[in-house]
Amino acid sequence: MAKKVVVSYREVENAIFDGINKNRELRRVVARFIDDVHDTWITIWEASGPHPYETGDYVASIKKRKLPMRSRIWMKRALARGALVGAVYSDSPVAHFIEYGTDVDYPESKSPWGPNTPTPEFSPMRRTQDAMRRGLRVR
């Protein structure tokens, strides 16, 4: 009878980080993936336009960050789950409104865009996530 082997999530996560740490090509693949996510997010946003109040600020707010190996090792110890090797995010103060939309303004609203200016849900981040899961790439 075969002996049952139990592997913890932490062991799998450590193996992933060790593989990234030891393999230069794998580090390049991870870096390219972060670039692909960034490029896909911008492409999806631009392809879904024109958008109301579009000034280019939202595209400029989409940032990418590749964590240096030293940070990855620290994160490996710090995170309870997930293998964070980089991040793509928007630091725009209106990113949440663009992603999820807004309701109709109430009568005395102090909306920065004027009265009764509901924003539709564009969800560029969620659409990017879906595209990456399906394996679509911009390049």
What pLDDT digit, counting tens, does each position of 89-133 carry? 899 888 888 888 877 777 776 666 666 677 778 899 999 989 988
Whether 80 shows a pLDDT value over 80: the answer reads: no
pLDDT in tens, 25-53: 877 888 888 899 999 999 999 888 887 66
Cα–Cα distances (Å) from 131 to 2, 8, 20, 52, 108, in that order, read: 41, 30, 24, 24, 40
Angle subtended at Cα 37 by Cα 34 and Cα 40, rounded to the nearest 5 degrees: 145
Check residues 121 and 72 and name the one with the higher pLDDT.
121
Q: Give me 43's structure tokens.
A: 């492409």
- The pLDDT score that the predictor gives to residue 111 is 65
pLDDT band at 81 (very low <50, low <70, confident <90, very high): very low
pTM here? 0.68
List of residues 6+ apart from 44 with CB closer than 8 A:
124, 127, 128, 131
Of these ranges, 6-15, 56-65, 83-92, the one predicted with the greatest mean pLDDT is 56-65
